[in-house]
Chains A and B, each alone.
Chain A
Amino acid sequence: MPIRHASGVYWRALAAHVRSVIEYPADLWIMATAGAVWNVLQFAFLAVLFANVPHIEGWGFHEMLMLSGLLSIAGGANALCFDGAWNTGSMVIKGDIDYRITRPAPVILQVGSSHIGLQSFGELALGFAMLVYGWIGAGVGMAWIPVGALAIVCAALIQTALVTAFCAVNFWIKSPMSIFAFLLIQLQGGAMKLPLGVFPAAVRVVALFIVPVAFINVVPVAVFTGHMTAWWLVGVPLAAVAAVALAAGVYRLGLRAYDSAGH
């Protein structure tokens, strides 16, 4: 399957959904506002926290804002570009993967592009706002911008790939709820908005090398703000490649185990 054809199929499906969404502006605004409000609350929480605490493990308000911003961008990109992966469980149960197997395009891309999360527009807008505000406030400087752009792309890829891999577990556990992906998001929302230094070594190892969520936001921001050496940045694209390979592999195995519905 030529990559060009597969990516063409994917982007066309996504663009068709965007066109469809624009036809229902009320839905779009309500969901986008919900996504934005959630991020405003994150901002408010950090502002209140740092009004009382000067720093956490050596990290200040603007640095922590960058953590939240980059995580929101990664989550928003996932919801915008690959939200359909969340439907893997219900598609498996209902046999809705059937048609996708009979078409000449990768099933994972067909499922991923089958839906877009409207809240992503709010998440992305506020995520970028927090990142830029934190970036300026923390004095990161313009020189890091190209690396920052790469980090954003990798963050989106890692987030999307990990969520997709965890959703693909539903090929075996037969539940409409992507409980493992949901847990991942919950843990990220709680833990990955804090510096790695606050956690025990075992947690740090898991977040860096087992489920590499730290490379989504914590590692890049730590490097940009001088909390980690620049060498750690090498791990960001590596983690992205590993996560994408993992998602593709788990999905492929899932499709081999797929037994449709209604025998």
Chain B
Amino acid sequence: MPILEARSLTKTFRRPDKASGFKGAVKHLMQRKFKNYTAVDGIDLSIDAGESVAYVGPNGAGKSTTVKLLTGILRPSEGTVRVMGRDPHTERIANAHDIGVLFGQRTQLWWDLPVEESLKLLKHMYGVSDADYQRRIAKFDELLDLNEFMPALARTLSLGQRMRADLACALIHDPKMVYLDEPTIGLDISVKDRLRAFLRELVNDGTTLLLTSHDLADIEEVCERIVVIDKGAIAYDGSIERLKAHYITTKAVNLYLEGTADVPALAEKFPDYEWTAGEAPSEVTVTYESGRFTTAEVLGSLTAQLSPRDLSLSEPSIEDVIRRLYAGELTK
């Protein structure tokens, strides 16, 4: 049973159609012209309860706009959204009790108030009981070290502290569906690790999660399913494992030879493989199709004929696949 269902979801914005510079601005003042820009183009998305879904795409692909449509912030131009059977825009208040939202680029903390006051205001807003509030704050403190900055004004927090506080704000009412838009943006590696561990625990507890991020480590560590969006449309929707199995069709071996690697000669000698010069003169990378050759076969032929000083295997990376999906090299 899907907890979230979007059908033919489309969002079009109207933008001024004008030339740049002062002349363009004056002309636009006299002759108003606009053009439509489709940020989200007929998306179908269904998320089951308890799923953790990564929603990724290049800048301007429509990720944030989709999240705003799913959370009821924006009204769809066309199509429908249902979250637990409700329209998040028209049934905003009822929907708000069941969802938690974090936009990494903005804070929901009251800027002039201590973090604790913001959390208490949200507690009252969501009607959280004292016992539940204390229990959740204790848990957040255990995982996010919240008490360290609870008395501090929001405007005095570091980015990492602010993000941890915002995460607590998004989850204080124990929402069933959580949307996190770039939750690790700008954070240092230790805070990122902490947040990811927290999110894994959240998913293990059965919370449904939709996560957008440019940091693919967030995705691999937290999510099971990945939806890739490009130019407002879904380019891939499936498990991360399937993505790897389906799209990672080549593997690579890095060889460190005794002398300088003659790449053209090697390419002529082993025409079935792709040869690329490495950073050092003696280093060369051999790329082969994993469907045609096993790693053992490749290593056997290379070591027998070239006697390399050393070698290493390159693990397939989800990052490469997504980069190629963004670049349009791969299709659904």
Binding site for B on A (CB under 8 A): 1, 5, 8-9, 12-13, 16-17, 19-20, 94-99, 101-105, 114-115, 256, 258-260, 262-263
Q: Are A102 and B71 in contact (CB under 8 A)?
A: yes
- Identify 21 residue pairs between A and B in the complex whose beta-carbon atoms are under 8 Å apart, listed by A's number: A1-B93, A5-B127, A8-B124, A13-B110, A94-B106, A95-B106, A96-B106, A97-B73, A99-B106, A101-B71, A101-B92, A104-B93, A104-B125, A105-B125, A258-B73, A260-B73, A260-B74, A263-B11, A263-B13, A263-B60, A263-B65
Q: Are B68 and A260 in contact (CB under 8 A)?
A: yes
* B322 contacts chain A at the CB level, 8 A cutoff: no
Contacts of B17 in A (CB 8 A): none
* B103 contacts chain A at the CB level, 8 A cutoff: yes
User: Which of B41-49, B94-102, B135-143, B293-301 contacts the other chain?
Assistant: B94-102
Q: Are B73 and A101 in contact (CB under 8 A)?
A: yes
Residue in contact with B125 in the complex, picked from A9, A94, A98, A114, CB distance below 8 Å:
A9
* B117 contacts chain A at the CB level, 8 A cutoff: yes
Residue in contact with B99 in the complex, picked from A13, A94, A102, CB distance below 8 Å:
A102
* B75 contacts chain A at the CB level, 8 A cutoff: yes
Give Cα distance in the complex from A95 to B101, angstroms. 14
Binding site for A on B (CB under 8 A): 11, 13, 37, 39, 60, 62, 64-65, 68, 71-75, 92-94, 96-97, 99, 101, 103, 105-106, 108, 110, 112-114, 117, 120-122, 124-127, 153
Q: Are A98 and B121 in contact (CB under 8 A)?
A: no
Give Cα distance in the complex from A175 to B153, angstroms. 28
Contacts of B39 in A (CB 8 A): 263
Q: Are B117 and A104 in contact (CB under 8 A)?
A: no
Q: Are B106 and A102 in contact (CB under 8 A)?
A: no
Shortest Cβ distance from B94 into A: residue? A104
Residue in contact with B64 in the complex, picked from A9, A13, A115, A262, CB distance below 8 Å:
A262
Give Cα distance in the complex from A9 to B118, angstroms. 12
Give Cα distance in the complex from A67 to B113, angstroms. 36
Contacts of B71 in A (CB 8 A): 101-102
Q: Are A262 and B105 in contact (CB under 8 A)?
A: yes
Q: Are A103 and B96 in contact (CB under 8 A)?
A: yes
Contacts of B127 in A (CB 8 A): 5
Question: What total of A-B pairs shows CB separation below 8 Å?
Answer: 80
Give Cα distance in the complex from A105 to B95, angstroms. 11
Known: A8-B124, A9-B125, A104-B126. A16 touches B73 (CB 8 A): no
- State the majority secondary structure of interface residues on B: mixed
- Interface centre among B11, B68, B114, by most A CB within 10 Å? B68
> 5 nearest interchain CB pairs?
A104-B96, A99-B108, A102-B101, A16-B117, A263-B39
Give Cα distance in the complex from A262 to B59, angstroms. 10
- Interface centre among A97, A104, A115, A258, by most B CB within 10 Å? A104
Min distance, Cβ A162 to any Cβ of chain B, angstroms: 26
Give Cα distance in the complex from A8 to B72, angstroms. 24
Q: Are A102 and B117 in contact (CB under 8 A)?
A: no
Give Cα distance in the complex from A94 to B107, angstroms. 12
Q: Are A17 and B68 in contact (CB under 8 A)?
A: no
Shortest Cβ distance from A99 into B: residue? B108
Contacts of A20 in B (CB 8 A): 112-114, 117, 153
Contacts of A114 in B (CB 8 A): 110
Shortest Cβ distance from B67 into A: residue? A98
Residue in contact with B96 in the complex, picked from A13, A102, A263, CB distance below 8 Å:
A102
Give Cα distance in the complex from A225 to B99, angstroms. 56
Shortest Cβ distance from B99 into A: residue? A102
Contacts of A95 in B (CB 8 A): 106
- Interface centre among A16, A94, A99, A256, by most B CB within 10 Å? A99
Give Cα distance in the complex from A20 to B120, angstroms. 14
Min distance, Cβ B117 to any Cβ of chain A, angstroms: 5
Give Cα distance in the complex from A102 to B108, angstroms. 10
Q: Are A263 and B103 in contact (CB under 8 A)?
A: no
Min distance, Cβ B127 to any Cβ of chain A, angstroms: 7
Give Cα distance in the complex from A95 to B74, angstroms. 11
Q: Are A98 and B68 in contact (CB under 8 A)?
A: yes
Give Cα distance in the complex from A260 to B127, angstroms. 27
Give Cα distance in the complex from A99 to B114, angstroms. 18
Give Cα distance in the complex from A262 to B92, angstroms. 21
Q: Are B121 and A9 in contact (CB under 8 A)?
A: yes
Q: Are A104 and B121 in contact (CB under 8 A)?
A: no
Give Cα distance in the complex from A17 to B75, angstroms. 32
Give Cα distance in the complex from A222 to B122, angstroms. 45
Give Cα distance in the complex from A112 to B37, angstroms. 32
Known: A16-B110, A105-B125. A259 touches B74 (CB 8 A): yes
Give Cα distance in the complex from A238 to B127, angstroms. 34
Shortest Cβ distance from A256 into B: residue? B75
Q: Are B64 and A263 in contact (CB under 8 A)?
A: yes
